[in-house]
Structure 1
Amino acid sequence: MKSYNGYLLDLDGTIYRGTEAIEGAKEFLSHLKDQHIPYLFLTNNSSASPQQVAIRLQKMGIDASPDEVYTSSMATAQYMSEHEAGCTVYMIGEEGLRQELVQHGFVLTEESPQYVVVGIDRTFTYEKLAIAATAVRKGAKLIATNPDPAIPTEKGLQPGNGSLIAAVSVAAATKPIVIGKPEPIIVRYALERLGTEAAQTLVVGDNLHTDIEAGANSGLDSLLVLTGYSTREDAEDHAVQPTYITEDLTAWRRRISRGV
């Protein structure tokens, strides 16, 4: 089996589920650190800051720092900074997205914004939809932090940002620029931060539509873990096949330790 110099690790359904670490996740991360293999937590979740994500992991007993976290909010702000720094933005989203946009110098407004950025927003309203759609119809560029139609919670799958961006997109008759997985934009930025080459980096995740397709779209091998969204049966029918499939990270750690 091929060895890898770096890992891009999904969080929900891969490292944790709800407020609990998935069995074997801590041991797998410890193995990577012991082997001096760098990794980055790569998440489509735009609601939390890297600091908040790291604290959440620490509460689960996982050693994590903000520098090991890269979110779709971070990638969105980086992308926009490269294309139109300091412009005006109407934001649908939560604190993680707001923090990144403000830190990168964007001006948040409801009046004639140049961009409309949509991230997960659990206080989404018709009024927010109307403001966003009107702005886009008047010429604002539409950006989605990520396309996830649903997100795993303690209550089961709940509407994700893909559901919100679909509403705005339909209302504005405009397709968005998507930043997060499965698009290669976020993966490119994550590789720059991780410092490894695509050919030597493995994407690990539980979702065929985001994690595994992100690998395929970016020239990276991928590992599907069966601890979250997608099943082995889903993989059999999916157009994009993962490079590897494993029951969980414990099984994968044992496999790479054996080198088979």
Structure 2
Amino acid sequence: MFKNIEGILCDIDGTLYFKGAPIQGAIDTVSHLKEIGMKILFFTNTDSKSPHGIYTILKDFGFQIQEDEIYSPIIALKEFLAKHPSKKLFLVTTQEVAREFQEYDVIGENETPDFVIIGDFQDDWDVNRLNRAFQLVLQGATLLGTQGNIFYLDREGNPVIDTGSFVEMIAHATKTRA
């Protein structure tokens, strides 16, 4: 069945787990694919958690994976920033994600950044911080978004505004593109 397939790309949230629990059969399926030698890259657009945080969730559920098998928007952003060294960042993200950028020059409210990064900031909602991001983009900072989802469904199935809505709002208000 998998004779000509060398690897699989597998989404995480909604494919391996949903509403805070593993999807029935997902753990066994991943284990079986690995047992037959299949390479798997787990990818996600989850931008509220660090790559290690995502890995920990999956390991705690019982998935037999390695941390370097996960690819997230935070990893993609760090790869982008590696091509733009010595740049100043203004972050609108969760605290967990902000810690991922400690090796960069993360600035405070009164400095001028090269990049304004909008990610999921669900645990750190602050309209003043979002307005400051808007002002900094108006002053010339480049707007970067970690992902483009307009909304997601919470554990109860209710729609919740997501990162892409805030990125698009700032892009529209500043007449720029992220």
* TM-score (norm. length: structure 2): 0.89
Q: 1:64 to 1:25 in 2, by over 3 A?
A: same
2:88 aligned partner, one-letter code: T
Measure how far apart 1:14 and its partner are. Answer: 0.8
Q: Which residue in 2 is equivalent to 1:80?
A: 81
Count of matched residue pairs: 174
Cα distance in 2 between the residues matched to 1:4 and 1:106: 42
Deviation at 1:167, TM superposition (A): 2.0
Counterpart position of 2:176: 174
* Structure-to-structure mapping, 1:121-200, within 5 angstroms: 121-122=121-122, 123-156=124-157, 157-176=159-178
1:49–1:95 CA contact under 8 A, matched in 2:
no
Contact 1:118 1:143 in 2 (8 A): yes
| Residue identity (%) | 27
SS at match of 2:176: coil
Q: Deviations over 1:191-214 (max 9, x none)?
A: xxxxxxxxxxxxxxxxxxxxxxxx
Partners of 1:44 and 1:170 in 2: how far apart?
Answer: 22
2:63 corresponding residue in structure 1:
62
Local SS of the residue matching 1:116: strand
> What does 1:19-98 correspond to in 2, within 5 Å?
19-82=20-83, 84-98=84-98
The answer as to whether partners of 1:93 and 1:120 remain within 8 angstroms in 2 is yes
TM-superposed deviation, 1:148: 0.9
The residue aligned with 2:108 is: 109
- More helix per residue: 1 or 2? 1
> 2: CA distance between counterparts of 1:24 and 1:86?
46
Q: Give CA-to-partner distance per residue, 1:200-237, whole Å, 9 cap, x none.
A: xxxxxxxxxxxxxxxxxxxxxxxxxxxxxxxxxxxxxx
**Aligned equivalents of 2:130 and 2:94: distance in 1?**
15
Per-residue Cα deviation, 1:113-137 (whole angstroms, up to 9, x for no partner): 1110110111333212211111111
Instruction: List runs of 5+ in structure 2 lacking aligned partners.
Output: none
What's the CA shift for 1:152? 2.8
| Residue 81 of structure 1, CA deviation | 1.5
Alpha-carbon distance in 2 for matches of 1:74, 1:101:
11
- For 1:126 and 1:95, locate their aligned partners in 2 and report how far apart those are by CA, in whole Å: 16
- Looking at both structures, which has the greater relative contact order when contacts are Cα pairs under 8 Å and sequence separation is at least 6? 1
The root-mean-square deviation of aligned C-alpha atoms, in Å, is 1.8
